[in-house]
Amino acid sequence: MTVFAVEYRYESGADERIAEVRPAHRAWLSGLAAEGTVLASGPLADGSSALIVFRAEDRGSLDALLAQDPIAGLVAEKTATEWNPIIGLLAESAAA
């Protein structure tokens, strides 16, 4: 499995719509975390974006998964970078 660090930058001025969709988004992420696909997730302190660490077979599988995210329509910019955690809890999870 490959580990990807994904950053979502939300649409400017969409705070109200994001708040409406957030419960479904978090439930979706929680389900993926329970199955080991999401290793970590959370908003950045300024609230403009979020970081999610996924395990996926490849970039195509990741993109297909991200398209299912209930909040996907409110993401203005998404970056996904293959990541190789070598130290810490995520390194242990990535090796599984």
Summarised one tens digit per residue, pLDDT across range 13-35 is 888 999 999 999 999 999 999 99
Q: What is the pLDDT of residue 94?
A: 66
Token digits for 57? 């077979």
Between the alpha carbon of residue 80 and those of residues 9, 15, 51, 71, 90, the distances in Å are 12, 23, 10, 16, 17
CATH number at residue 15: 3.30.70.1060
Could you list the pLDDT tens digit for every one of the 96 residues in the chain?
A: 899 999 999 988 888 999 999 999 999 999 999 999 999 999 999 888 899 999 999 999 999 999 999 999 999 999 999 999 999 888 876 666
Percent of the chain residues topping a pLDDT of 90: 80
Query: Is 0.85 surpassed by the pTM of this model?
Result: yes
Residue 14 φ/ψ, nearest 5 degrees: -105, 20
Q: What is the pLDDT of residue 13?
A: 87
17 three-class SS: helix
User: Domain count of the chain?
Assistant: 1
| Enclosing domain of residue 24 | 2-95
